[in-house]
A and B are shown apart, each in its own frame.
Chain A
Amino acid sequence: MFHWLEKNPFFFAVGVFIVIAYAGLIEILPNFAEAARPVKGLKPYTVLQLAGKEVYKKDNCIACHSQLIRPFKAETDRYGQYSLSGEYAYDRPFLWGSKRTGPDLHRVGNYRTPDWHANHMWNPKSVVPDSIMPAYKHQFTNVADLETAYAEAVTVKKVFGTPYGADIAPGKAAYEKELKTKILPEALKIATEMKRDDLIKMVKAGKVPEVVALVAYLEKLK
């Protein structure tokens, strides 16, 4: 039979395809509906937090940080409660990572604060003298892309039914309103907690520095 396949490329290709395709069906599909269910009380990311997640992606913290606490005593002692599937229901993409050059961050919001992050992101060695994490000073001047984050919120609401309120709607006007009434006040709160005048000034001028959005996101990780 194999000799025959080797002389009949079409059927050969079909054979290969069948052999490689069904494993995925059996392994991936059964869990799909189950794993999509959020844990009770899980809130979707605010627009500011989404913008922070984009900073996390852009500066690629996932290169060094995981967001997955495995059910080992050593791990729950270090980071807190092991991770649950339902906690990730609004994570598109998932950001578990595959390398811990730095510590896990899935619950970092529980045990660090905005002003600690302000020190740490500006210069990690100022709080952890032996740190090998790069300083991210550019995040203190770069402006976060809130509009794209807002576009993402609208998209996941429309396409996947992520439970955002009626305010999250397409179009520039809705965005401007959200910006004034929700995003900037939330950012101001974080910036104030970060205790840096340059950040507070920027937010008051209507521009949210990347680091403020990032910290809003890190604070949500609990």
Chain B
Amino acid sequence: MNGMIVKALVMAGVLIVGTLVVVKQMNIDLSDPINMITFIGAVAIAVLAFGVAAKYMAQMKNDTATGELAEDNWDGIGEYKNPLPSGWSWSFVGTMIWAIWYMLMGYPVNAYSQIGAWNKETKEYNKKFQAKFKNADKETLKDMGESIFLVQCAPCHGDTGDGMSGKAHDLTHRISKAQVLYVIKNGSHYFKYPIGAMPAGMAQGKAAEEVAAYVAGGLKGKAPAAWATCAGCHGQDGKGNGGQAPDLAKIDSTLINQVLTHGKKGSIGRMPSFANRFTPVQEKALAEYIKSLSSKE
């Protein structure tokens, strides 16, 4: 082979290998059809562009200009009557054949629908993963939950879930005093617990302060007197009366499910709802991960 072409192909090779190395470092699955086609496309660009250009460079080196000159001449520029290069003509025909294939079979103009393709892909996907992880153990779910958390929740709750100095709920703890006070003052009606909404003003002044401190402290020690009001719904132990109202002692799956479905507004601010964004398995996984955050304390 001509030296010029070899050099060009080496250049193309370096670029392709470089891309491959970087992509592999990111754990990209190249057997995914879209990734694979893209990669083949990249190889084609590099090899054809560099290779063909080198072929013509080689002709500059080794060939000579020939042909019959046309009569016209503009400002000293002449023109040969050479025929079309055959490689060019055949490639032209080739692209047209490909085009017809693409319109009839690749993405048939009368039949292909991108929304249809999405529906199909998503359905299959969800079915597959739903089935596979329906009975996943805690560790697996936690691991699964972490990646969802980092993509969807970390921008507010922070990578570690600590709420980024008060920008969102600190998920490593159940609840702070300020948050409880806010609920006591304003009531709460975002979730759908069986008991219904919590009315505002269930305690006032010092009593409110006391219960708030008690709840934020994890319901340890002696309960203040005003706790009796709360216990009516949340249970004497604050664990929510068997799911009737939120568990105030720890973040449990029900609460996470309620927050994801309905969002929440509290003393820190508002959390948007993530209704319909996750499959049941993903929700379970998120809950498992968040529970693991708060159980660290």
A adjacent to B, CB under 8 Å = yes
Q: Which residues of A contact B (CB under 8 A)?
A: 71-73, 76, 78, 80, 82, 110-113, 115-116, 119, 126-128, 193, 195
Q: Hey, which chain A residues are within 8 Å of B155, CB to CB? A: 112, 116, 127-128
Interface residue? B203 (CB, 8 A): no
CB closest residue in chain A, given B274:
A111
Provide the bound-state CA to CA distance between A121 and B122, in Å: 34
Interface residue? B222 (CB, 8 A): no
Chain A binder among B54-62, B223-231, B264-272? B264-272
* A76–B269 CB distance below 8 A: no
Residue-wise interface mask of B (143-174) relative to A, using a CB-CB cutoff of 8 A (1 in contact, 0 not): 00000000110011000000010010000000
* B271–A113 CB distance below 8 A: yes
Interface residue? B121 (CB, 8 A): yes
Q: Hey, which chain A residues are within 8 Å of B269, CB to CB? A: 113, 115-116, 193, 195
Interface of B is mostly: helix
Q: Hey, which chain A residues are within 8 Å of B125, CB to CB? A: 73
* B270–A78 CB distance below 8 A: no
Q: Hey, which chain B residues are within 8 Å of A76, CB to CB? A: 118, 122
Known interface pairs A111-B152, A195-B269; A71-B118 also in contact (CB < 8 Å)? yes
Interface residue? B114 (CB, 8 A): yes
Residue-wise interface mask of B (222-261) relative to A, using a CB-CB cutoff of 8 A (1 in contact, 0 not): 0000000000000000000000000000000000000000
* B118–A82 CB distance below 8 A: yes
* A127–B156 CB distance below 8 A: yes
* B167–A73 CB distance below 8 A: no
CB closest residue in chain B, given A71:
B118
* A110–B164 CB distance below 8 A: no
Can you list 10 A-B pairs, Cβ within 8 angstroms, ordered by A? A71-B114, A71-B117, A72-B118, A73-B122, A73-B125, A82-B115, A112-B156, A116-B155, A116-B269, A126-B164
Whole-angstrom distance between the Cβ of A7 and the nearest chain B Cβ: 10
* A193–B272 CB distance below 8 A: no
Whole-angstrom distance between the Cβ of A203 and the nearest chain B Cβ: 18
Q: Hey, which chain B residues are within 8 Å of A115, CB to CB? A: 269-270
Provide the bound-state CA to CA distance between A116 and B270, in Å: 9
Q: Hey, which chain B residues are within 8 Å of A113, CB to CB? A: 269-272
Q: Hey, which chain A residues are within 8 Å of B152, CB to CB? A: 111
Provide the bound-state CA to CA distance between A104 and B114, in Å: 19
CB closest residue in chain A, given B263:
A113
Q: Hey, which chain A residues are within 8 Å of B270, CB to CB? A: 113, 115, 193
Known interface pairs A78-B151, A127-B156; A73-B121 also in contact (CB < 8 Å)? yes
Whole-angstrom distance between the Cβ of A166 and the nearest chain B Cβ: 33
Provide the bound-state CA to CA distance between A193 and B115, in Å: 37
Whole-angstrom distance between the Cβ of B269 and the nearest chain A Cβ: 5
Given A111-B274, A119-B167; 9 other pairs, CB 8 A cutoff: A72-B118, A78-B151, A111-B152, A112-B155, A113-B270, A115-B269, A116-B155, A126-B164, A193-B270
